[in-house]
Homo-oligomer: A and B are copies of this chain.
Amino acid sequence: VLPDADFLYIGDTARLPYGTKSPATVERYALQAARVLVDRGIDALVVACNTASSVALGALDARWVGLPVVGVVEPGARAAAEATVTGEVAVVATESTVRGGAYQRALTRLRPEVRVRTRACSVLVALAEEGWTRGPVAEAAAHAYLDDWFAPEAQEARPDTLVLGCTHFPMLLDTLRAVVGPGVTLVDSATTTAAALCERLGRPPAAGAAPTGTLAFLATDGPERFAAVGSRFLGGVLRPGQLELVDLAGGRPRAGAGDPASARRRTGRKPPGS
């Protein structure tokens, strides 16, 4: 929707996944990741992770006053609030997102009468990373997590809306759709987050136009794995050569510690988005 924008991604691959970590740790990691992007002169920050959006958005907003910061929880909740007819909404997410309660709060604020059920589905993250998005393992896991809400014999009122509250879960869309059955809207916050970003920047969305901006990637570990997993997520646009390895934890190696992270490198090239 912003075809002329330059995009700079950062993936904290050395410390992922965030979804099973405590709020204090996720907040610290999110601030460190954002610091790298801010130092390279970004004009806006999209927190494209439900866990970080759920627990660190306030801290990010407070740290860089004036920088537009857009998370994925609020747009996802808005889409769900618009989609539900019966008012029965289910959210699948990571442990940290569920514990943080951000979806419940956002949905209740938008539509107080909505009934929200949440469930942590950690194994789905591992399945998406492994590329097991269809087949018997993905199906068995989806059934294990969702049958008591969606199976024909389920006791509770069946939700009519399922929020994919983790950016890994849209990879399993077909499997999840088959398991929940017909009549359920699956909400992925990608589209509504992009719309929210345009709104914050005061720019009309230009869907369909060919991209003219640059695309660059930072990661904290394992360029090969990042390229392999990232390509699955981004539809094949990612090559190892596009990746720059960065360090978030200490800033620089500690003197005398013999830090073996010799793979760390800093390139001198002009950062995208500056």
Whether A260 and B221, one on each chain, are in contact in the complex, defined by CB atoms closer than 8 angstroms, is no
Instruction: Tell me, yes or no, whether A39 is within 8 Å of chain B by CB.
Output: no
Which residues from B are CB-within-8-Å of A141? 137
Contacts of A254 on B, CB cut-off 8 Å? 251
Q: Closest chain B residue to A35 by CB distance?
A: B257
Q: In the complex, what's the smallest C-beta–C-beta distance from A58 to chain B, in angstroms?
A: 11
Q: Which residues of B contact A31 (CB under 8 A)?
A: 257-258, 260
* Chain A residues within 8 Å of B, Cβ to Cβ: 13-15, 20-22, 24-25, 27-28, 31, 59, 63, 95, 122-123, 125-127, 129-130, 132, 135-137, 139-141, 143-144, 221-222, 225, 249-251, 254, 257-263
Q: A25-B261, A249-B250 are in contact. List 18 more A-B contacts (CB 8 A).
A: A13-B21, A14-B15, A14-B21, A15-B15, A22-B225, A24-B263, A25-B222, A63-B258, A95-B225, A123-B123, A123-B130, A123-B132, A135-B144, A136-B144, A137-B137, A139-B140, A249-B249, A250-B250
User: Can you show 23 pairs from A to B with CB atoms below 8 A apart?
Assistant: A13-B21, A14-B15, A14-B22, A20-B222, A21-B221, A22-B221, A22-B222, A24-B260, A25-B222, A28-B260, A31-B257, A31-B260, A59-B260, A122-B126, A122-B129, A123-B127, A135-B144, A136-B140, A136-B144, A137-B137, A137-B141, A137-B144, A251-B254
